[in-house]
Structure 1
Amino acid sequence: MTTTPYATRATAVAARATDLSKVYGQGETQVVALDHVSVDFGQGEFTAIMGPSGSGKSTLMHCVAGLDSFSSGSVRLGETELSTLKDKQLTKLRRDKIGFIFQAFNLLPTLTALENITLPMDIAGRKPDKRWLEQVIEMVGLSGRLGHRPTELSGGQQQRVAVARALASQPEIIFGDEPTGNLDSRSGAEVLGFLRNSVRDLGQTVVMVTHDPVAASYADRVIFLADGRIVDEMLRPSAEGVLDRMKDFDAKGRTS
C-alpha cells in the first residue's frame, strides 16, 4: 500500500510523508512502527494525530519533524526532502523552520520567561521580529510574567512560555507531542486555545499528537493510526465523535 485516501489535501502543503516506513530490529524481534504511511499536513491547518498505544502516532510525528530517521519512503518539509540532509543541515532546518512543544515544558530554569522564548533565535544569531514577538506574547497572556523564571510560574504559565517560544521564530510548522499532558483541564484548554488562535489569527500550521478527545476537538481534522497505518480521518472533529472512534479501536483490540 503506497497511498491512503488521506494523502491529498486541497490546501498548500506544509509537510508531506509519502510511503513512509519505520522498522525497529530484525528477524523475530522486528517491529514495524510505521507501515507505508502517506499523509499531507496543509498550511494553516491544525491536525491532531491519534491512535492506541503503539499505533505509531509519535513515531510519525518524530519522523516528519526530523527528530527521528525513517527506514524508507519520503518526508518533505515545504520543498525540502529530509532524507537528503546531513545532520548539521537537519539541525539547522529544525531550528529555523520548526517549532516544538513537548509535554515536559523543556524550559531552562536559569532564564526568564522572555529569555526562554527568544532562546532558539539567540542561538541562531537572529533577532526576533519585535512586533511579531509582542503579538505572540500578548496572545498567550504573558506580558506581566516576562521577568519570571520557570520556578516562579505555574505549569500552565510554563507551557504558555513553551507555546510562545515555538511561535516566536515564525516557523513553517509547529509540532506538539502531548502538549497538554502535564496540565489540568483549565490550563490545557488555555494552551489549546492559544494553538487554535495561532492557526486562525496568525496562519500557523500545527500538528499535535494527543490521546485526549477534548484536545483533538480543537483541531481542524484528526487522523487516526492503528498498527502503523492511517485508518481513518475526521474533519471538524467533536470530542464526542473522537471518543466514539477511539472506543471502536478499543473494541477491535479486545476482539482481535
Structure 2
Amino acid sequence: MTPAHTPPSHPDDHPAAAAYGLTKVHDMGGHRVTALDKVSLDIPRGHFTAIMGPSGSGKSTLLHCLAGLDSPSSGAAWIGEVNLTELSDRQLTLMRRDRIGFIFQAFHLLPTLTVLENITLPTVIAGKRPDPQWLTEVIATLGLRDRLAHRPPQLSGGQQQRVACARAMLSQPEIIFADEPTGNLDSRAGAEVLRLLQESVHRLGQTIVMVTHDPVAASCTDRAVFLADGRVVDELQQPTRDRVLARMRLFDATGNP
C-alpha cells in the first residue's frame, strides 16, 4: 500500500474515498483515547475493500469518519474531490444523501412499508424519481422481484439485508459503506449477501468499503486493510480466508501489529 498524504492535484485522479493524516481522539471523562492515529489510506474506485482488525482497533471509527458520520480531531476525510471536513452540516447531509450509500448490521427497514417502498424511500424523501431501468436492474440483481409487495416481518434476515443493499444502491452512490453487513445473518444468508455485494462491484462497478471481523467475508473482497491501535499496519491484495486468518492470528499470538 502506498500511503496517501495529500490529495491528488487533478479531480479525475481522486480515489473514491481517502483519509489523510486522519486522527480521532475521544475524551472519556478527562481520559483521552486515540481511536485513529494519523491514518492515511485511499479507496480505489470500483473495488471492494475490507477493513479489519482486533476489537478496539478503530475499524468502525475509520468507516464513520470516511462516510461523514463522525468528524476527525485532525486530518481530513475525502469523498472524491470533496474534503468532508470543510463542509457545513447541511452540505454534509446532502453529501451523505446524494453520493454515499450505507449498509449496517441492523437492517433499518420500516416494518409498515413494502419492500419496494423501503427500497425507494430515501430517493422519494430526496424529492427524486427513481430511474425505472436502474430500479429494475437492482431488484433483479438482488433477487427481490417476487418480494416487492412483502413487508420486512415477512422476510428472512438475508432477504431483509438484500433489501437494505438495494436501498443503498438505488441512488447510484459513488461509494457504499457497510458496517458488519453479515453480522446478524447465518452463514448461508451471509454468503448470499456477500455474493451480491461482489456482483455489484464486479458487474455494476460499485465501490464498497466493508468493516468486518470475518475472514470469510474478507476473502470476498479485492483488498483487506488491517488496523491495530488506530493505525494501518498491513494490507492484503486479493485476500483468501487462510491468508486473512494467518494475519489475524498474529494479533492473537503477540498482541502487537
TM-score w.r.t. the length of structure 2 is 0.94
Kept in 1, the 8 Å contact 2:161–2:193? The answer is: yes
Identify which of 43, 57, 60 aligns with 1:58: 60
Kept in 2, the 8 Å contact 1:6–1:233? The answer is no
Shift of 1:175: 0.3
Cα RMSD, aligned residues only: 1.7
Q: Deviations over 1:47-87 (max 9, x none)?
A: 00000000001000000000011100011101111011111
Residue by residue over 1:182-212, the C-alpha shift from the partner in whole angstroms, topping out at 9 and shown as x without a partner, is 0011100110011100000100000000000
The answer for the alignment partner of 1:234 in structure 2 is 236
Q: Which amino acid aligns with 2:198?
A: R
Structure 1 runs (4+) deviating above 4 angstroms are none
**Structure 2 residue corresponding to 1:39, chosen from 38, 41, 56:** 41
CA contact (8 A) 1:121 1:169 kept: yes
Q: Give the match for residue 24 of structure 1.
A: 26
Residue 144 of structure 1 aligns to a residue in which SS?
helix
SS in 2 for 1:122: helix
Aligned-partner Cα distance in 1 for 2:149–2:20: 44
Q: Is the 8 A contact 1:217 1:242 kept in 2?
A: yes
Aligned residue in 1 for 2:121: 119
What displacement does 1:5 show? 3.5
State the distance in 2 between where 1:56 and 1:6 align. Answer: 17
Aligned to 1:161, the other structure's residue is in SS state helix
CA distance in 2 between partners of 1:32 and 1:196 (Å): 33
Q: How does 1:235-254 map to 2 (within 5 A)?
A: 235-253=237-255
Aligned residues: 251
Give the deviation of 1:7 after TM superposition.
3.3
Q: Which sits farther off after the overlay, 28-37 or 216-225?
A: 28-37
1:66-215 pair list within 5 angstroms: 66-215=68-217
- 5+ long unaligned stretches in structure 2: none
Normalising by structure 1, we get a TM-score of 0.95
SS in 2 for 1:54: coil
TM-superposed deviation, 1:28: 6.1
Q: Does 1:218 align with 2:215?
A: no
Q: Structure 1: any 5+ residue segments left out of the alignment?
A: none
Equivalent-residue separation in structure 1 for 2:42 and 2:83 (angstroms): 14
Distance 1:236 1:27 in 2: 42
Q: Distance in 2 between matches of 1:216 and 1:149?
A: 31
Percent sequence identity over aligned pairs:
65
Question: What does 1:1-16 align with in structure 2 at a 5 Å threshold?
Answer: 5-7=2-4, 13-16=15-18
8 Å CA contact retained: 1:15, 1:77: yes
